[in-house]
Chains A and B, each alone.
Chain A
Amino acid sequence: MAVNTKTAVMTKLQARLSPRWIAALVVVILAFLLPTIIHNDYYIRVAITMCIWGVLCVGFRLMFLAGEMNVGLPAFMAIGAYSGALLMVKAHWNWWLAVLVAAAMPAVVALILGRIVLRVKGAYFAILNFGFLMVVRHVWLAWPKWFGGGAGISNIPSPNAIGGWHFGSLPSFFYLGLCLLVLTIIVFYRLEKSKYGLTMKAMGQADMLTEAVGVNIMRYKLAAFVLCALFSGVVGCYFASVQHFIDPEEFTFLPSLYLVLYPVVGGLMSFRGPIWGVVFLMALPIGLKEIPGYDPKIEPIIFGSILVVVMLFLPSGLVSLPARAMALYNKLRKVRPKEVEEYAAP
Chain B
Amino acid sequence: MEQNVVLQTILNGFMLSFVLILFALGLSLVFGIMHIINFAHGEIYMLGGFGIWWFYAEHNVNFILSLVLTMALVAGVGVVLEKFFYRRFRGQLLSGMILSVGLIFVIQASVATGWGFLDKAIPTPGIEEGVVTFLGATISRERLFVILMAVIAMVGLYLLLMRTKYGRMMRASAQDADAAALQGISINAAGSMAMSVGCGIAAMAGVLAGSVFLVNPYMGGTPLLKALVTIILGGMGSLPGTILGGFIVGFTDSFGSTYLSSTLANMIIFLVLIAILVVRPLGFFGREH
A binds B: yes
Find out whether the CB atom of B98 lies under 8 angstroms from the CB atom of A260: yes
A contact residues around B94 at 8 Å (CB): 67, 69, 122-123, 126, 345-346
Which of A211-219, A302-310, A324-332 participates in binding chain B?
A302-310
The answer, yes or no, to whether B102 is at the interface (CB within 8 Å) is: yes
Which residues does chain A contribute within 8 Å of B266, judged by CB atoms? 134-135, 138
- Is residue A1 within 8 Å, beta carbon to beta carbon, of the partner chain? no
| B228 adjacent to A307 (CB under 8 Å) | no
Residue contact A142 to B264, C-beta cutoff 8 Å: yes
B106 with A138: CB separation less than 8 A: no
Say if the beta carbon of B61 comes within 8 Å of chain A.
no
CB-CB nearest in chain B for A134: B225
- Residues in chain A near residue B270, CB distance under 8 A: 131-132, 134-135
B93 x A301 contact (CB < 8 A):
no
Query: Contact string, A125-144, partner B, CB cutoff 8 A, digits 1/0?
Result: 01110111011001101100
Report, as a range, how many residues of chain B touch the other chain.
35 or more
- A179 on interface, CB distance cutoff 8 Å: no
* A28 contact set on B, CB distance < 8 A: none
Encode B72-108 as 1/0 by CB contact (under 8 A) with A.
0000000000000100110011110111011111111
Whether B144 sits at the interface, judged by CB under 8 Å, is no
Min C-beta distance of B47 to chain A, whole Å:
15
Q: How far is the CB of A273 from chain B (nearest CB, A)?
A: 13
User: Does the CB pair A120–B277 fall under 8 Å?
Assistant: yes
**Interchain CB contact (< 8 A) of A69 among B92, B97, B110, B261:** B97
**Docked complex: B178-195 residues within 8 A CB-CB of A:** none
What is the CA–CA distance of A18 and B82 in the complex, to the nearest angstrom?
Answer: 46
Q: Which chain B residues border A67 with CB–CB below 8 Å? A: 94
- Tell me the residues in window 81-126 of chain A with beta carbons closer than 8 Å to chain B beta carbons: 116-117, 119-120, 122-124, 126
B residues in contact with A139, CB < 8 Å: 267
- Any chain A CB within 8 A of the CB of B170? no
Tell me how far the C-beta of A201 lies from the nearest C-beta in chain B, rounded to whole angstroms.
15
The 6 closest A-B pairs by CB, nearest first: A304-B105, A307-B102, A300-B109, A304-B106, A308-B102, A138-B263
A interface, CB within 8 angstroms of B: 67, 69, 116-117, 119-120, 122-124, 126-128, 130-132, 134-135, 138-139, 141-142, 252-253, 257, 260-261, 264, 295, 297-301, 303-308, 311-312, 345-346
A-B contacts besides A128-B273, A132-B270, A346-B94, 18 pairs, CB < 8 Å: A122-B94, A123-B236, A127-B232, A128-B274, A142-B261, A253-B221, A253-B225, A257-B104, A264-B98, A298-B113, A304-B105, A304-B107, A305-B102, A307-B98, A307-B99, A307-B101, A308-B106, A345-B94
26 contacts between A and B (CB under 8 A): A69-B94, A69-B97, A116-B277, A116-B278, A119-B277, A120-B281, A122-B93, A123-B97, A124-B236, A126-B97, A130-B225, A132-B270, A135-B271, A253-B221, A257-B101, A260-B98, A261-B105, A298-B109, A301-B110, A301-B113, A304-B103, A305-B106, A306-B102, A307-B102, A311-B89, A346-B94
